[in-house]
Amino acid sequence: MVVNRHRNCRAVIILLVMLLVHAWLMLPLPSAGADDPQVVGPLVIKLIDQVEVPALEPGPIQSLDVRLGDTVKAGQVIAQIDDRISAAQRELAATALAISRQRSSQYRDDKIAETESDEKEAVLQQQRLLAKIASEKSLSEVRVSAAEKAEAVAKNEWSRAIGAREQFADSVSDSELENLRLKYDRSRLERVEAEFQRRMDQLSAEGEAQGVKIAELAAQRAELRRSVAVADAESLRLDIESKQKTLQIQELTVARHQVASPIDGVVVELFKRRGEWVRPGDSVVRVINLDELHAEGFFSGRVRPTRGQQVRLSSADREVDGTIDFVSSERDSVSGEFRFLVRLRGGVFFPGDRVEIDW
C-alpha cells in the first residue's frame, strides 16, 4: 500500500514538471520588433587589432625600450637585437660598392677604343682612296701612247731626212741629221721610260691594295677592342648594381634587428627580457589597439542585419553607437546561427565585456 502511494506521488511530480516545461516553452521569447534580427544572447566585446610582435633575426636582445602599459605608435622600435655582425657586413658592402664606383669612374678604355676605332676607319677610307687613285693611274695608257707617237714622229722625221740626204747630198746637213737622230733616240727613251713608269704604277696600285687590306685588319682589330671595352664597361655597371643590391640586403638585415610595433596600441605582455636569446618568429611583446573594437554576436531567423546599419550597444549605465561591420553568410552547422560583428569606438567598453544590442 505504501509502495503504491510512492509511485502515485512520483507520477504526479513528473506530470507537473512536464506541464511546467511545456508552459515555459509556449511562452513568447522577449525580442525586439518582428522586423529585427533575433539575437541569441548578449554580444561580446573583442579586439580588432592585436599582434604579438615577433623577432625577425636571431640573437640576444640588446635593449627592451617598453614596459607593460606603455603606449606605442606604428613603426616605433620597442626592442633592439644585437646587430654588430650585420652592421660590419653592411660596412663591408658599402666599401665594396665605393671601390666599384671609383673603378667605373676612372674607366676610359671604352672611350679610347671608340676613338681608335674611328681613327682606323678614317685611315681605311683614306687608304681605299689612295688605292683607287693608284689603280686608275696604273690603268692609264696616255703617257705610253704619247711617248709612242712622239717616237714614231721623230723616227719618221729622221727617216725622211736620211732619204732626202741620199737623193740630194746637200739637202740635209750633218748637224740636222744628227739632231733628228738624237730626237728620235730621246723619244724612244721617253717611251721606254713611260712603259717603265706604267709598270711602276701597276706595282704601286698593288701595294696600295695591300695597304687597304692592312687598314681593314687594323680597323677590325680596333672594332674588336672597342667591343671588348664596351663589354668591360657594361660589366663594371652590372658590378655596381650587384654591389648596390648587396648593400640594400645588408641594410635591410640591420634594420630587421629592430623589433618595431606594426600598429598603434598598448603593450599588454612582455614575452622576452633584455639579454634573452630570440629566434626568428619568437614573440617579444603583445600590443593591442583599443581605439576601435568589435562586438561579436549571433542571430537566428530569416531577418538579417545590414552591413553599415547603425545600432546602439548598452550594458548597465554605459552605451555607445556602433555600425554593423560584418554579417556572415554561413550558418553554424551545430547551432544554426549566423555570426555578425559591430564596430564601435573604444573607451566605453573593453574586451571581454558583454553588451545588449538595440536596433
- For residue 238, the enclosing domain spans 100-253
Residue 301, phi-psi category: left (phi > 0), alpha (psi -120 to 50), beta (remainder): left
Residues 70, 11 share a domain:
yes
Residues 223, 125 share a domain:
yes
pLDDT value of position 16: 59
pLDDT value of position 317: 87
| Percent of the chain as helix, strand, coil, to the nearest 5 | 50, 25, 25
Q: Which of 299, 233, 290 is nearest to 38 (CA)?
A: 299
Would you tell me how many other CB atoms lie within 10 Å of the CB of residue 83?
Answer: 19
Report, in angstroms and rounded to the nearest whole number, the Rg of the chain calculated over CA atoms.
56
Model pLDDT for residues 289-300, shown as the tens digit of each residue: 999 999 999 999
CA 166, CA 163: separation in Å to the nearest integer?
A: 5
- On whether the CB atoms of residues 98 and 247 are closer than 8 A, the answer is no
Q: What is the pTM of this model?
A: 0.61
Flag residues of the chain having pLDDT under 50: 1-3, 21-32
Domain stop point among 218, 253, 288? 253
Residues 135, 174 share a domain:
yes
Asked if residue 49 belongs to a domain, the reply is yes
pLDDT value of position 144: 77
Number of domains in the chain: 2
pLDDT value of position 10: 60
Residues 313, 181 share a domain:
no
Q: Which positions ≥6 away from 32 have C-beta within 8 Å?
A: 358, 359
